[in-house]
Chains A and B, each alone.
Chain A
Amino acid sequence: MSTVLTKSDYGRATDEIYGLIAWIALGIFLIVVGLLVYALVRYRERGPGELPRQIRGHSLLEIGWTIAPALVLLVIAIPTIQTVFRTQPTVEPEGALEVTVRGHQWWWEFSYPALGIVTANELHLPLGRAAALRLEGPDVIHSFWVPQLGGKRDVIPGRLNRLTFTPEAPGEYLGQCAEFCGVSHANMRLRVIVDGAEAWQAWVRLQQAPPAADAAATEGAAVFAKSACVGCHTVRGVAAGVVGPDLTHFGSRQTLAAGLLPNTPANVLAWIQDPPAVKPGVKMPALGLSPAEARAVAGYLASLK
């Protein structure tokens, strides 16, 4: 999750100024500590003797070491201001893909209005195309941060914040909520998957398709449909709850519980049976399903590719 080996235009713009300031900082540090150490060695009292020269000050030096830092700061300030304005465009780039990011306690909702897709915790983006994220939230302040794709932006209820960047390399990028948002703040993770053109088309088609109907999972589907699950979750055509993540294509995700666990049958089973044990404070309660019912539901969820 490096903040300096970034893979987006936004990240690169930051890297440039990050590098500039870091090198300047290192230089100043070496000068200051160098002078300090030199003074310690050279001017150490070597025995009681005459008082050293009682110099009180030197106007020229004062002017000098006021102007010098000011110039250094100017060198830092100008590209800073330029980058601030460049990375917060007033108009979205042509052809940008609009994504609505809603931060909930403690999971991420991603929807693509133009594509009719709603998913959670794993954000797929096409390589080389601008992604215009609109950040909003229904509960408390969160912060969307995928370090390798650039700096963070807060999700603030009642406000619309934007984050725009173009991913420049395919791959998987880990992210995490970066504003303390309650008990399971540490467990509000996400990943961004940047797909090449073909992979992206395939993913979009998959997500737009109706939920897979697996004959082997009909029992689980039935248990799901009559359990409390449907009160909170959406599976298109089956359930329309909006409190928890959309599960229509849950089976195709790599992780569950907002990046906490790999999406394996064992983990899904453990989750369904006792969510608070996995994720403190989670709003999803243990549903009181019998082990057999839980296994069936887990199988059904896995089938929702």
Chain B
Amino acid sequence: MTVAALTERVAARSAGPGAPPAAGIRSWLTTVDHKRIGILYGVAAFAFFLLGGLEALLLRLQLAQPNGHVLGAQTFNALFTMHGTTMIFLAVMPASNAFFNYLIPLLLGARDVAFPRLNALSFWIFLFGGLFLNAAWLVGAPPDAGWFGYANLTSTQFSPGLGVDFWMLGLQVLGVSSMLAGVNFIVTILNLRAPGMTLMRMPVFVWMALVVQFLSILAFPTITVAMIMLMFDRFFGTRFYDVAAGGDLHMWQHLFWIFGHPEVYILILPAMGIVSEVVPVFARKPLFGAPVVIYSGALIGFFGFGVWSHHMFAAGMGPVADAAFAVSSMLIAIPTGVKIFNWLATLWGGALRLTAAMHYALGFIALFTIGGLSGIMHASPPVDLQQTDSYFVVAHFHYVLIGGSLSGLLAGLYYWWPKITGRRLDERLGKLQFWLFFVGFNLTFFPQHYLGAIGMPRRIYTYAAEPGWAFWNLVSTVGAFVLALSFLLLLVVAVASLRAAATAGNDPWDGRTLEWRTSSPPPVENFAALPPVYGRDTFWREKHGDRHGRRPTPAPAPPPGPSHLPSPSRLPILVAVGLVVAAAGALVSAWIVVAGLGFAVLALFRFALEHHANLAHAHQDGVTGVDHRKLGMWAFLGSECMFFGTLIAVYLAYKGRSVVGPRPHEILNIPVTTVSTFDLLMSSLVMVLALAAVRRGDARQTRRWLTWTALLGLIFLGFQAFEFTSFVREGLTLQRNLFGSTFFVLTGFHGGHVTLGVVWLLTLAILSLRGRLAATDAVKVEVAGLYWHFVDIVWIAIFTLIYLIP
């Protein structure tokens, strides 16, 4: 069967009752259906995974022998940089997103996510961002400074050329995608649960997804700040990572790893969630200690923000910092271990069906345990100082990433394949595929523990014969090819399945959760009628009763009302195009940046107004009692606390370190800034008056107060422009010293936020002028107000910490 025909089949089956089947490429480009977006993420993730795998095979070929000649040094360095970046950002994360997208609404008993078009936007930004990053290969400038690009190797002095620029811009684009998805799924999970589904009744996979979304929106702002600082150093000559100007190279490492450590929990928690679903189904018992597994996941997420400097034990932070992070890193092992014991207890006394999915889930438990234990070794600084930056740590993270994350994702693939495609995967071939994977994986990576223990550093394109590393490198290379073969076999298994008839049925595994309660694949509206929720593992309870075998009394079916399905839109893909063109433009010409951003902004305007008059969208209330858009804005503002908190911390950490003047006390004008601060405070007052007016339905007052808010905002910007120009005249520029760099970037980004706010408010004012802002639109003004007030309180912090405190 051809791909096109398959698309038609899937599309036809996905169509709602009476709806025309959506077919063809165009329907995929404009889709906002979470199931299709999930499939898009999955296919793209797999394609990038194959690319990253190919890069790995080339690396292993070069390392198979001492003094290898397969690849030159620069190519090798680019390959390991791109292999890491691709696998993390373009393969594992999107694969997790594929499952989040496809399954979360189904698991919650919902029809789609809270913001379907934003969902599509996240996908297209990811896809184009990934293509942009890999376009570096095509222009002969692949990034080659490692996937965590330590400053100052990434400065223009030591990495001239476009490679690092591609990496820096590509990751920032991908960060936008993750942030949008994070907000979307937080609102979805909190607000779109079916009646009766309390938070503790949600499947564990959804809980892990919720923690991952919070991790995403809180971790990405910090790497964004790190990248902004790098970008400004490279493009505009600022001093953030300039040692001679007083910059501290630890700064990059701290900022990167404040992101990087939560990132690894973003990579592993989805797999842990999947294992928590798969094991109970194939043990025919509930997950042992489900609440404890949930709390452990939440604790891991929360404390994951307190361990980051265990990546810096060799960097010389001093014994106190080393000891503190050693202890916090060891503490995190406790909730992790608790999960493992709960999974084992789930198996205990069960009736185990060893399907291919179960093979992967069990493989996860064993292999992740190994990775976790080598992680505990790394948590001890003295031991870590031998192991870090050697093949030991390479073995560690591949055990947790492949043995952990990938095994979990593959378990999910085998488990949910029937639901998504309506077909079963061949169990026998699947188990063979698992064993090939298992053997290949261990053959590749177990010896690397030993190689690290005998002193082989990482990221070396070749090695001498003298230290005796040759034999196990060869074994590792052979293993890599076996592993590759296993993925070829996976492709075969998948294609073979798609060619067969769709006979899986709704519930091939006797599942426990709501996705098995609807057809395979589900109809476009997911459920004919919203399902009843009787507790955790609600579907199992419906079929088999509770612990005592008592079946719940069937709830009366809700009247089948018209279900509002989100309509397709071409705006998500257009916004994404504009954004990536702007990123690419940064490498070529400022005009292209302007054009790309302009296009994206125009598309964003249309995006924002596309459903403005649509009454079906007027009220988006959710389970929490809060409108989706309001809840989403609060989540976003939480992430902005990280963004501005990091920027302010950088300013304060670098305070007093400028090598040359002017210095703050010589140049900051407190009286004038006091006036502008007062101005911004008053703008917040006027904003709440605007909100009160729109709620009353008083269009004239609404318009007046909105315009006043915007005007006061413009006055603030005027003060800022005055301040900036007079500073430049007095000799303080972005490039002059650390003070200039940190001050202008911090207040500049704040000013940028104010500008966006002014544009937003003026848009609302104009809508009101045209009679298009009624009382039913109050929430839109409220959301704009929340953003505006937040920008104000950031200024309150900046005014005190930067201007007033000496």
Contact = CB atoms under 8 A, between A and B. Distances in A.
A54 B366 CA distance: 24
B487 interface: no
B73 A141 contact: no
A152 B352 contact: no
A83 B380 CA distance: 9
Nearest to A179: B389
A202 interface: no
Interface string A173-198: 01011111111111001000000000
B460 A39 contact: no
A52 B369 contact: no
A4 B158 contact: no
B290 A57 contact: yes
B344 A36 contact: yes
Contacts of A70: 334
B369 A32 contact: yes
A58 B374 CA distance: 29
24 contacts: A14-B382, A18-B377, A18-B382, A25-B377, A28-B373, A29-B369, A45-B284, A51-B285, A52-B283, A69-B338, A73-B334, A80-B382, A81-B326, A84-B319, A147-B454, A148-B455, A151-B314, A156-B250, A157-B152, A157-B243, A180-B145, A182-B158, A183-B77, A280-B74
A18 B385 CA distance: 11
A1 interface: yes
Contacts of A69: 333-334, 337-338
A55 B288 contact: yes
Interface string B285-323: 110111110000000000000000000001110110011
Interface in A12-68: 13-14, 17-18, 21-22, 25, 28-29, 32-33, 35-36, 39-40, 43-45, 49, 51-58, 61-62, 65-66
Contacts of A29: 369-370, 373
Given A25-B373, A159-B249, A54 B463 contact: no
B318 A2 contact: no
Contacts of B388: 152, 178
B476 interface: no
A62 B289 CA distance: 8
Interface string A256-293: 00000000000000000000000011000000000000
A177 B383 contact: no
Interface residues on B, range: 35 or more
B467 A1 contact: yes
B152 A141 contact: yes
What is the interface of chain A mostly: helix, strand, loop, or mixed?
A: mixed
Contacts of A231: none
A151 B384 CA distance: 8
Contacts of B390: 3, 178
B327 A77 contact: yes
Interface string B360-377: 001001100110011011
Contact of A57 (B248, B289, B353, B369): B289
Interface of A: 1-4, 13-14, 17-18, 21-22, 25, 28-29, 32-33, 35-36, 39-40, 43-45, 49, 51-58, 61-62, 65-66, 69-70, 73, 76-77, 80-81, 83-85, 87-88, 105, 135, 139-141, 143, 145, 147-148, 150-154, 156-159, 161-162, 174, 176-186, 189, 280-281
B385 A139 contact: no
Given A3-B455, A140-B153, A156 B315 contact: yes
A172 B323 CA distance: 32
Nearest to B354: A44
B457 interface: yes
B331 A73 contact: yes
B286 A14 contact: no
Given A29-B373, A281-B73, 19 more contacts: A21-B377, A25-B377, A32-B369, A43-B351, A45-B284, A52-B283, A55-B288, A56-B547, A58-B345, A73-B331, A80-B330, A80-B381, A139-B158, A145-B455, A145-B457, A157-B152, A158-B248, A174-B455, A178-B314
Nearest to A80: B380
B787 interface: no
A267 to B, nearest CB: 13
A154 B377 contact: no
Contact of B351 (A14, A49, A85): A49
A36 B291 CA distance: 22
A179 B150 contact: yes
Given A73-B333, A76-B376, A159-B249, A150 B385 contact: yes
A185 B250 contact: no
A1 B248 CA distance: 32
B22 interface: no
Contacts of A185: 77, 459-460
A231 B183 CA distance: 59
B569 interface: no
A45 B283 CA distance: 8
Which among B330, B365, B547 has the greatest number of chain A C-beta atoms within 10 A?
B330
B290 A56 contact: yes
Contacts of A77: 326-327, 330
B383 A21 contact: yes
A73 to B, nearest CB: 5
B462 interface: yes
B386 interface: yes
Contacts of A186: 73, 457, 459-463
B365 A177 contact: no
B376 A25 contact: yes
A52 B350 contact: yes
Nearest to B332: A73
The 7 nearest A-B residue pairs measured at CB: A151-B385, A1-B455, A186-B460, A161-B316, A158-B243, A147-B455, A280-B73
B146 interface: yes
A176 B126 CA distance: 38
Interface string B142-163: 0011100010110000100000
B380 A21 contact: yes
Residue among A33, A56, A83, A183 having the largest count of chain B Cβ atoms under 10 Å: A56
Nearest to A21: B377
A14 B386 contact: yes
